[in-house]
Amino acid sequence: MSETNRSESQNPILKAENISLVVDNGGTPKNIIAGFSFDFYKGEIYNILGPSGAGKSSLLRLFNRLDEITRGKIYFNGKESSQYNPCLLRRKIGYLFQTPFLFPKTVKDNLHFVDSSLSDDKMTSMLSEVNLGPDYLLSNVDVLSVGEKQRIALARLFALKSEVILLDEPTSALDEKNSSLLLKLIKNKVSAGGIAAIIVIHDPRQVLTYNGEALLIINGKLVEHGPAKELISQPKTESGKSFLEKDSV
């Protein structure tokens, strides 16, 4: 699933063309994202790496159109993302927040929030996709553990049947066992559904569990990118080296 295996004729599902996000920071403009360009293809996992405050979450919010880009263009399926109805676009480019929020009251309510026509049988199979038994369907979300909540949020995201999924540090609140389970579930979904996954990963060591792409973002800029294994073992840039050295300590 690396860049070389992709057929040349395939068009990017999501394309960022020199996008910038400038916010007003108490009177002075601040570049949160500064001229980011990249093509994302279906069937791939993209790991977004970078120090805290680099703009990783801001980038995912732009793709989901929770914020407006200041400059540049984003294309989804060849069409400019501003040409889509934002609500329809968000269902095609699903977004999982870093802290998952579940609506009251039950797991079933949360799946119905996305698609009210889902049958109990269908929902049960969706739960099994995130390693949860059928009795979770009627559980009150308040009694679930952090790991279970994150998996319900993932099932709810999958219920959108998006073509691109954006995941913001999905494992940051989870223990080792739950993180590797969650990453395995995401990986299965990408290969089974042929979708693109863009994942902000806090810990570069977790990237090694994939054979995907990695993008290193520092100060809102794409510093370097390439196959994840290569980028992490032999970063090409000075800033890449210093970021990975610092983080592996």
Partner 1 sequence: MTGVGIENVLVSLVLAAIALAIGYFWKVPVQKNMAVGIIRSFIQLIAVGYALKYVFDLESIWLILMVIIVMILVGSHASYSLSKQVRGAFLISFSAIAAGSLVTIGSMLILKIITFEARFIIPLSGMIISNAMNAAALTINRISSDIRSNSLAIETALSLGKNRRESSRPYRKQAVIAGMTSILNFMKTVGIVALPGAMTGMILAGAEPLEAVFWQLIVVYMLLSSVTISSVIAVELTTEKYFTPYHQLKSKI
Work out how close the CB of 121 gets to partner 1 at its nearest, in angstroms, rounded to a whole number. Answer: 22
Residues 42-71 touching ligand ADP, rule: CB under 6 A, are 50, 52-58
Q: Residues interacting with Mg ion, by CB under 5 A? A: 57
Query: Per-residue string for binding with partner 1, 40-59, x by CB under 8 A?
Result: --------------------
State whether residue 154 is helix, strand or coil.
helix
32 binds, among ligand ADP, partner 1, Mg ion, none (CB under 5 to 8 A by kind): ligand ADP
Contacts of 116 (CB under 8 A, 6+ apart): none
How many Å apart are CA 98 and CA 95, to the nearest integer?
A: 10
Query: Per-residue string for binding with ligand ADP, 4-43, x by CB under 6 A?
Result: -------------------x-x------x-----------
Beta partners for residue 76, in sequence order: 14, 79
Q: Are 43 and 1 in contact (CB under 8 A)?
A: yes
Peptide bond into 236 cis (omega under 30): no
Q: Are 139 and 106 in contact (CB under 8 A)?
A: yes
Token pair listed for 78: 């060849």
58 binds, among partner 1, Mg ion, ligand ADP, none (CB under 5 to 8 A by kind): ligand ADP
- Site for ligand ADP, rule CB under 6 A: 23, 25, 32, 50, 52-58
